[in-house]
Amino acid sequence: MAAKRIYCNLTKYVKVGANRWQYCPVSRGKTGRVKQDLVVVDGHAAHHPEGYYALDWREGGKRRRKSLGKNAGAAQEAQERQMAFLQARANGVAVVAEEPPGASLTVQDAC
């Protein structure tokens, strides 16, 4: 039985031309941490403070993307969380997707 290849790419949506935006892979340091606002464009590292970080993965044959905001550290944490979620699901572990805090809290429960 062949093992499934699980991946979840971290990209940043940046402006690369006059009216052209594209998703570019992030640049990582020696320790593997994502460098803030540094992306790889045409094989070269470039500083792009504009745009936002996003996750990119395949689910059921379809490409999925999720916007993560402008913070590189939070984006890297979200990527690690998503990779663990996808890996667990591929191994047959029943996983419940987490809800943001306070998402299902009613006014009565809050009081």
Residue 48 lies in a domain: yes
The answer to the question of residue 4 being in a domain is no
Least confident of 9-18, 68-77, 89-98: 89-98
State the average pLDDT over residues 92-101.
Answer: 72
- Rounded to the nearest 10°, the torsion over CA 40, 44, 50, 55 is 0
64 within some domain: yes
pTM above threshold 0.85: no
Of 58, 59, 43, 46, whose CA–CA distance to 12 is shortest? 46
Question: Is residue 47 included in any domain, yes or no?
Answer: yes
Q: Which candidate, 63, 59, 47, places its Cα nearest to that of 14?
A: 47
The verdict on residue 3 lying in a domain is no
For residue 74, give both structure tokens. Answer: 């939070």
Structural domain harbouring 99:
9-110
Domains: count for the chain: 1
- Mean pLDDT, the chain, rounded, equals 87
Is 2 within the bounds of a domain?
Answer: no
